Amino acid sequence: MKKKIVIILFALFSFLGGFFDQLLFPGQEMTYIDLALMPLFIFLLYSWYYYDSKEFNFKRNLFVNVGIVGLSLFFIPYYLFKTRGASKGFVASSIFIAALASSWGLDVGGMYLAYYTIQI
């Protein structure tokens, strides 16, 4: 249940980040909102990792902990393969990549909503 809440918060903040980016800083690539949300996303990502590792009885170590925070694109698939095995790890890694694309899509969707509902 806690993992689902973390995922929902991640999606919500992705959407709201895009919305307020476009609303307050139209047309800019990187804004103060992005910089403010970055630590929040890192916290949410690590929270998901924490709850997931407890569910799968994975003994966390410093190397993987730092990797999850610093190089998530590489260490999350590593962690997923390590905890789930090859076939389920591949499926879980594919879902992770789809989640990254969905986060980007929610960000862009928030931008479009701000642009077409408020700024026009």
Range of the domain at 29: 2-119
Cβ contacts of residue 28 below 8 Å, gap of 6+? 21
Q: Could you report the per-residue pLDDT of 56-76, keeping only the tens digit for each?
A: 999 999 999 999 999 999 999
Residue type, 105: G
Number of domain units in the chain: 1
- pTM, two decimals, is 0.90
Q: Could you report the per-residue pLDDT of 2-43, keeping only the tens digit for each?
A: 999 999 999 999 999 999 999 999 989 899 999 999 999 999
Cα dist from 22 to 10, 11, 106, whole Å? 19, 17, 13
